[in-house]
Structure 1
Amino acid sequence: MKFNHFGSSTWKVAGLLGVVLLTGCVQKFSHVNDTIKEAAYGFDDITMTAEDINKLPYASSYMRFNDGARVFMVLAFAEKNPSTGRTQLKWVSSDNAMVVTENGKVIKTLKLPTENLARRSNVINQSLTNSASQTNSEWTEGKVQHATYDWPQGNHYGYQANITLIKQGKQNIDSVIWSKNTTQWQEQVHLPQLDQSFTNQYWITDNGNVVKSIQYVGPDMTRIEIDVLKPFAE
């Protein structure tokens, strides 16, 4: 069984919400929309200055979808996942496209012009510990973990995945407003029902925060590159 792979040349810059909702508050930042609109009609990556980023009271990231232009996304919603107790971060564009992350992992996308992910449900074993970060048992090398993938296109639901994490080593990551020492992790995802695999990459700080990642919504599907600019602070 195979899924068709669609190109991403049409995905350039979605922009930002004109109105962002955070913890029940409604705040406008139309001045940022103006900056994003300029990139929506071009082919260049958008670049934000440190001043631009620091002026916004919201967490923010760069994202790139397949080989499209780099876009600037601002956090729209942050809410607890009752199943895991972890915070889900929802990044929403002005045309209502959405990327949802939990613990740095993409668990859902909506209205991307290519393939979308209806759900990635991670099975978390709280008994696991990671010597590099006792507070984050999810990043443990050599332990097979499990997840369930659902894709809306073609109504493909309930695909079980076996996940193996491999530590790649230390790497310093720089953004325009910070520099952090990270550990690079490779996440090998195998779906036995499809006999297909793909690999995600994560760069994680010593306190367990994912500050950079390259992830796929599924085998031969949309690639999402995320570079955190201003991290979310709970």
Structure 2
Amino acid sequence: MRALIFPLIGLFLQGCTPSQQSMVDTFSTSLRGAPDVIVTDEEIQALPYATMYLRLNEGQRIFVVLGYRKNGLNKWLTQDHAMIVTDHGRLAKTVGLHSNLLEVTHLASDPLKNTAQLQNGLQWQRDIRWTEDGELRSARLTSTFTSAGKRTLLIAGLPVETQLWRETVRSVSPKCEWQNTFWIENTTGLVRQSQQMTGAGVLPAEMTLLKPAP
């Protein structure tokens, strides 16, 4: 699949058709200078691509389009060539940021790969490596999942019925504990919204899947 790159304050498509370019020009005009990118429901529905809102480390919320899908991994690209990789809604890797998630092990056994089988008390262990202010760090994490009931989200103008799951994550070294949160759509099992950490208790990431891949 050809790479599709959306800027932080405007949207740009390589190889646009005239109609697509017109849409991009409209987006660029309406979004320029906004502290948080806001795309209208109609514009989101009109795009034939998977899209999401993304906020990293409490920074500006941006709008990104799925660039590649390979081996079950979704790769989202930004104008400055940063790449965000997700696996069934889990943040799996980042490239080109000031601080990056380098590796998450045991992704094949991540409970998010089969959300229909999620149950209270389910555990998952993995190792992660990341950089923080230029320093290489690593940790072994143990997660425990807990159901927090039903929630209705409004995403791109459409109600989405979800099950809310909290993932309590513990690290021995560095010693810390935090919660990741996942809103899982009832009908598809997709993670439609999440709040999770890039490193061990640091570098928060918020993602909202606006339009899933067809």
Q: Once the 2 structures are TM-superposed, how far is the Cα of residue 202 of structure 1 from its aligned partner?
A: 0.4
Deviation string for 1:131-190 (max 9, x for gaps)?
xx9x53663320221111011342324x22111111111100111242111011111111
Which stretches in structure 2 are left out of the alignment for 5+ residues? 1-6
| Residue 105 of structure 2 corresponds to residue 121 of structure 1 | yes
Q: Which residue of 1 aligns with 2:60?
A: 69
Q: Which residue of 2 aligns with 1:142?
A: 121
1-structure distance, mates of 2:79, 2:22: 14
Which stretches in structure 1 are left out of the alignment for 5+ residues? 1-11, 20-25, 81-86
Question: Residue 84 of structure 2 aligns to which amino acid in structure 1?
Answer: V
Q: TM-score, normalised by structure 1?
A: 0.75
- Would you say the 8 A contact 1:123–1:146 is kept in 2? no
2-structure distance, mates of 1:139, 1:14: 37
Q: Which residue of 1 aligns with 2:172?
A: 192
Q: Once the 2 structures are TM-superposed, how far is the Cα of residue 194 of structure 1 from its aligned partner?
A: 1.4
2-structure distance, mates of 1:217, 1:40: 28
Q: Which residue of 2 aligns with 1:219?
A: 200
- Would you say the 8 A contact 2:100–2:130 is kept in 1? yes
Q: Once the 2 structures are TM-superposed, how far is the Cα of residue 14 of structure 1 from its aligned partner?
A: 6.1
Q: Which residue of 1 aligns with 2:154?
A: 174
| Residue 18 of structure 2 corresponds to residue 18 of structure 1 | no
Q: TM-score, normalised by structure 2?
A: 0.81
| Residue 101 of structure 2 corresponds to residue 110 of structure 1 | no
Deviation string for 1:178-208 (max 9, x for gaps)?
2111011111111212112222110001232
Q: Which residue of 2 aligns with 1:51?
A: 42
Question: Percent of pairs identical after alignment?
Answer: 26
Question: Residue 155 of structure 1 aligns to which amino acid in structure 2?
Answer: L
Matches within 5 A, 1:61-100: 61-80=52-71, 87-100=72-85
1-structure distance, mates of 2:207, 2:28: 17
Report the structure, 1 or 2, having the larger helix content. Answer: 2
Deviation string for 1:85-144 (max 9, x for gaps)?
xx111110011111111011101111224x211112235449x8x9xx9x5366332022
Question: Residue 121 of structure 1 aligns to which amino acid in structure 2?
Answer: T
- Would you say the 8 A contact 1:17–1:93 is kept in 2? no
